[in-house]
Structure 1
């Protein structure tokens, strides 16, 4: 562990209050999710209320499932003496590394009631002792 010395300079670092701001903003836009494993495969569920299917992209690349999307919502209300307008925009990306026994050919995604469910099947386990014997060369 490295400790920051108080003798490094008289003035405090000007960027210190902003350190980690990007990570905090990413957490704010990142939708809540859960990943689970069962006998039949793996399941990732992600809460995406108000996000349309056309604004979501699910991809599988090199054993990593990535869900990207963009949330766009706006609301306007008008009364006799008042006007209210609210807009919310933001993109998100969440990635999940799959275990080695995940079957990349058995991936399904479904969006229902604001919850995206990504299901990934498992490869059949190999039989014990069915490995390839490696000959040992004499030197």
Structure 2
């Protein structure tokens, strides 16, 4: 007996709206972020309302800062004849590549009022990788 599979027609169009659903769900849990630079270094801020310090992990590896964590929130409403509960949760991970002048020895992370701030200092000009410029003289 030969099985037939549908590759065109009604069935493929039925699941088409679900294509890419995983990416959309991942985007829902990706916290809003902003990156900025100042004279003293770089700053990455992420909105993490309701996320506790113990549920956040910040790593620096090979010039990339990665922030991982677990986001959970719960809201309950009750009345005389009704009850409602709404929960949001999920893991998130965001990575940011740092510029070459970022100093991996000067990294800190601070969580305040639901906003995580990762600060990375800049290397001094003398510490910058690269060659030395040799002046050319007329001989």
Q: Same fold (TM over 0.5)?
A: yes
CA distances 1:44-92 after superposition (whole Å, capped 9, x unpaired): 0001111111111111011100011111122222221111111111111
Question: Are residues 1:67 and 2:67 paired?
Answer: yes
- Look up the SS of the partner of 1:31 in the other structure: coil
SS at match of 2:132: coil
| SS at structure 2 position matched to 1:126 | helix
Partner of 2:48: 48
> Which blocks of at least 5 consecutive residues in structure 2 are unaligned?
1-6, 135-139
For structure 1, the residue ranges without an aligned partner over 5 or more in a row are 1-8, 134-139
Question: Equivalent residue for 2:3?
Answer: none
TM-score w.r.t. the length of structure 2 is: 0.79
Greater helix share, structure number: 2
Matches within 5 A, 1:1-139: 10-11=8-9, 14=12, 16-126=16-126, 131=132
> RMSD of aligned C-alpha atoms?
2.4
* Secondary structure, aligned partner of 2:120: strand
SS of the residue corresponding to residue 67 of structure 1 reads strand
**Aligned partners of 2:24, 2:63: CA distance in 1, in Å?**
27
